Amino acid sequence: MIHPTAPDAPYRLVVSGAASGIGAAVARGALARGWEVLGLDLPHLEGDSGPVPIIGCDVSDEEAVVAAFARVAEHWPAGPDALVHSAGVYAVTPLLETGAAAWDRVLGINARGSFLVAREGARAMAPRSGDRSVVLLSSVGAVRGDDREPSAAYSASKGAVTSLTRQLAAEFGSAGIRTNAVAPGVIDTAMTTLTNDPEASDAFFASRVPLRRAGTAEEVAAACLFLAGPESAYITGVVLPVDGGQAIL
Ligand SMILES: NC(=O)c1ccc[n+]([C@@H]2O[C@H](COP(=O)([O-])OP(=O)(O)OC[C@H]3O[C@@H](n4cnc5c(N)ncnc54)[C@H](O)[C@@H]3O)[C@@H](O)[C@H]2O)c1
């Protein structure tokens, strides 16, 4: 049975990683647009630990992700209109010192987590008609190597997110569900280590980033919200860099 969104219904967004950084900025931006927002984040952050209510869920755990979307359905039986999946982890370790368990942890949260959250998000949206949107978080690391902060597991995980985005756009398109990704460069959030070292940071921005500075969570959130919302209704399969130009140097 098809449940079209009533024309005057509020736009409903699920955002993962909503307790911090880019996810929190997406949640704040969506609230400012008058959207209804539910957050997902780690179980110990369950409750009101961010700008929106958090449903606790480790995104790498299949049962937990399925259970979290069952709770979303209790709030919104007709499903969300959009999903921004921002939960993720960063890890800097030279490849020769990277153990398989550390590799699996990063791939488990970033790649498997994107697969699980996108799958459950799309399942929740599927019964309805109308424009619906999934936005994933890739990274400049998917297309650029990094000799300064070696992070092979992270880069590989974000390469997987980029490929997943294109595949899901192809697979979900006929159901009216768009899938896009945002690929941030260096963004000033709790995840970022470069900005802790002012000297290294100045040298990096002077030589490798055309706009010569870090981005803000709000600047990435603006791109996520554009791709999540109806203004981008004819855009799918895109990976949009928000990196001050880093990927072109
Ligand atoms: N900050 C950057 O420079 C940057 C650059 C490129 C890409 N990104 C990507 O943007 C996204 C958001 O990053 P951020 O900068 O806001 O980081 P952040 O550390 O501020 O926020 C990440 C959020 O994800 C949550 N999280 C981590 N592991 C989780 C798990 N297993 N289950 C559920 N939630 C979990 C954390 O609790 C946190 O709230 C990530 O996917 C990241 O890889 C960030």
The token pair at 9 is 């219904």
Q: What is the pTM of this model?
A: 0.97
Asked if residue 15 has its Cβ within 6 Å of ligand 1, the reply is no
pLDDT in tens, the chain (249 residues): 334 455 568 999 999 999 999 999 999 999 999 999 999 999 999 987 678 999 999 999 999 999 999 999 999 999 999 999 999 999 999 999 999 999 999 999 999 999 999 999 999 999 989 999 999 999 999 999 999 899 999 999 999 999 999 999 999 999 999 999 999 999 999 999 887 888 989 999 999 999 999 999 999 999 999 999 999 999 999 999 999 999 999
Asked if residue 60 has its Cβ within 6 Å of ligand 1, the reply is yes
For residue 152, tell me if it sits in a domain.
yes
Total domains present in the chain: 1
Asked if residue 80 has its Cβ within 6 Å of ligand 1, the reply is no
DSSP secondary structure, 100-164, as one string:
HHHHHHHHIIIIIHHHHHHHHHHHHHTTS-S-EEEEEE--GGGTS--SSS-BHHHHHHHHHHHHH
For residue 165, tell me if it sits in a domain.
yes
For residue 3, tell me if it sits in a domain.
no
| CATH number for the domain harbouring residue 24 | 3.40.50.720
- Give residue for tokens 């927002």: 37
Closest Cα to atom 1, ligand 1: which residue? 187
Our answer to whether residue 234 is catalytic in this structure is no
- What residue numbers bound the domain in which 221 lies? 12-248
Which of 14, 15, 16, 22, when mutated, tests ligand 1's pocket best, judged by the most ligand atoms within 8 Å of its CB? 22
Task: List CB contacts of 221: < 8 A, sequence separation 6 or more.
Answer: 22, 25, 26, 28, 29
For residue 59, tell me if it sits in a domain.
yes
